[in-house]
Amino acid sequence: MGSESFLKDVSLAPGAPEEEPARQYYYMALLSDLVSQRAKEIGRDLTACVVTFGCQMNARDSEKLCGILKKTGFVLSEDENSDFVIYNTCTVRDNADQKVYGRLGVLGNYKKKNPGMKIALCGCMTQEASAVEKIKASYPFVDLVFGTHNLYEFAELVYKCFSKKGMLVEVWEGTDRIVEDLPVDRKYPFKSGINIMFGCNNFCSYCIVPYVRGRERSREPKEILREIEQLVADGVVEIMLLGQNVNSYGKNLENGITFAQLLREVEKIEGLHRIRFMTSHPKDLSDELICVMKESKKICRHLHLPLQAGSDRVLKTMNRCYTKEQYLALVEKIRKEIPDISITTDIIVGFPGETREDVKETIDVIRKAQYDNAFTFIYSKRTGTPAAKMEQVPEDQVHEEFDEVLKCVQDMARERIVRFEGRVMEALVEEENTGKNAADALREMGAKEGEILLTGRLSNNTIVHFPGNASQIGTFVNVRLDKCHGFYYFGHIVTEQNA
Ligand code: SAH
Ligand code: SF4
Ligand code: F3S
């Protein structure tokens, strides 16, 4: 459906409807008129650039923002020197905040040269009162600030922002509302993230997410299934079910569906080839889920299972609700049932009170759990969380331990990934690799004249590069994994099924 026919059906006569999403379609129609009028005045299309910081949740939210921008006539651009720039922010660690502030300075300079430019900030950072105060005081050229709970009001907020001067700030403390059926513009035509729940109730003591994303709310299974069916009809072959703790999916729903039961339903959708999900909290990972994964032909052989720390004392203060032993027993059970699975994790180093001995426990878990990959973070103090009030470890004492953990993780990952060398595996071709070493890589692979370097993803989430052609993007191919290069493979497409 083009934007024209889609918005012409919206009646503007009686004023803005109260109910959602009708209200947002009303504002989309108004905004669309405003955008085309501005475009006439300046003699060209209005450009908009959405910059995403943070996690998959934010990436999906940005696709919703892009959907509305496109429907209302903006031309999407990657260039931050655009007529409308939206920063979808993250605040999980302090360096995420600092990145945004740094880039806002640059945006301010662009705006001096293009006074008609509008700048919006949304996402997790704007849910913090201190951040909003700082923006008001130090970045007065920002036009619109809104939060995670009212993202669905984007059309209304943009319309209001473009119709007035000065900064519009609209941040809610929380919501129990989920608004369905708004436009989305996907980054990839063939794969998509899909929210199954919002918020988090776990309150790990270091983490700001429950404060900025609110209480846990699951979407109705029928809404999720309907959205996936629509995506599949639109060409999507791989989906990623998104939630801060997918294993507690359904707890607030009346029919009490579990995550494993939801997966069984998703599995039945014809035309869908791959199912991924993020993130699994170890405390809630059920035997039922392991069983569903084991039996499934579609659920990918990858599990992201954040450990955070290996010491029982630290895990307790972090409020993670499992011990080292329980975590390792879980990993063992999963590996026994699904031997070819890749397990990845998140680790924090330098949590308040963490000693050298504690870090040794983390390293012990890394060795025993045999991770295929791990994201390692230095603890960052987040004001308002319980850990912020605990005695902090000075950062200069953390670096040595961080490097040690990182080295252990990287050695382990290199050792693990090599196990597939020589195998033939199915890859979903995601994009052309246009990196500066692409030509050398093609030569090394003995590519034929005219072939380009493609990047594919295996079921276990490993990346493989191989020669091919652009028409293969978005399709599944069988690839022989010829050579392991640290964290990825070089390979070539083969026609046979298995080595
Ligand atoms: N809901 C997910 C993680 C969301 S945040 C889960 O529970 O696994 C992603 C990762 O950021 C976390 O797993 C954690 O390792 C890291 N993280 C969160 N808060 C942090 C902090 N204050 N300092 C450093 N790392 C942090
Ligand atoms: Fe943060 Fe813990 Fe919730 Fe994950 S489960 S988002 S780490 S509070
Ligand atoms: Fe960051 Fe918010 Fe995600 S704080 S990690 S963008 S939920």
Atom of ligand 3 nearest to the CA of 96: 1
8-44 pLDDT tens trace: 667 676 789 999 999 999 999 999 999 999 999 999 9
pTM: 0.94
Taking the centre of ligand 2 as the mean of its atom positions, its distance from the CA of residue 210, in whole angstroms, is: 7
Within 13 A of 139's CA, how many CA atoms are on the CB side?
A: 26
- Per domain, the residue ranges of the chain are 3-170, 188-300, 304-419, 421-493
Q: How confident is the model at residue 499 (pLDDT cuts 50, 70, 90)?
A: very low
In the block, residue with structure tokens 């912020």: 388
Specify the CATH class of 304-419 in words: alpha beta
Q: Is the confidence at residue 1, as pLDDT, over 70? A: no
Mutating to test ligand 3, I would choose from 209, 242, 279 the residue with most ligand atoms within 8 A of its C-beta, which is 209
Mutating to test ligand 1, I would choose from 318, 377, 405 the residue with most ligand atoms within 8 A of its C-beta, which is 377
Looking at CATH, the fold of the domain delimited by 421-493 is given as: OB fold (Dihydrolipoamide Acetyltransferase, E2P) (2.40.50)
Taking the centre of ligand 1 as the mean of its atom positions, its distance from the CA of residue 306, in whole angstroms, is: 8
Taking the centre of ligand 2 as the mean of its atom positions, its distance from the CA of residue 124, in whole angstroms, is: 14
93-118 pLDDT tens trace: 999 999 999 999 999 999 999 989 99
The per-residue pLDDT for 5 is: 52
Q: Is 463 exposed, middle or buried (0-12, 13-18, 19+ CB in 10 A)?
A: middle
Average pLDDT of the residues of the chain: 94
Q: Is the confidence at residue 3, as pLDDT, over 50? A: no
Question: Which residues neighbour 461 within 8 Å (Cβ) at sequence distance 6 or greater?
Answer: 276, 300, 302, 342, 344, 372, 373
Beta 463-468 vs 452-458: how paired, if at all? antiparallel
Q: Is the confidence at residue 200, as pLDDT, over 90? A: yes
**Ligand that comes closest to the CA of residue 53:** 3
- The region, left, alpha or beta by phi > 0 then psi within -120 to 50, assigned to residue 55 is beta
287-346 pLDDT tens trace: 999 999 999 999 999 999 999 999 999 999 999 999 999 999 999 999 999 999 999 999
User: Running DSSP on this structure, what letter comes out for residue 209?
Assistant: H
CATH placement of domain 188-300: 3.30.750.210
Per the structure block, which two tokens stand in for 122? 């949304």
Give, in order, the Cα–Cα distances in Å from 485 to each of 340, 406, 454, 491: 20, 18, 16, 11
62-92 pLDDT tens trace: 999 999 999 999 999 999 999 999 999 999 9
Query: Is there a common fold for 3-170 and 188-300?
Result: no
The Cα–Cα gap between 154 and 491 comes to: 44
The per-residue pLDDT for 180 is: 85
146-158: average pLDDT: 97
Instruction: Judge if the upstream peptide bond of residue 17 is cis by omega within 30 degrees of 0.
Output: no
Q: Is 254 exposed, middle or buried (0-12, 13-18, 19+ CB in 10 A)?
A: exposed
In the block, residue with structure tokens 């501005």: 38
Q: How confident is the model at residue 386 (pLDDT cuts 50, 70, 90)?
A: very high
Q: Whose CA is nearest to atom 1 of ligand 3?
A: 90
Looking at CATH, the fold of the domain delimited by 3-170 is given as: Rossmann fold (3.40.50)
- CB 465 within 8 Å of CB 490: yes
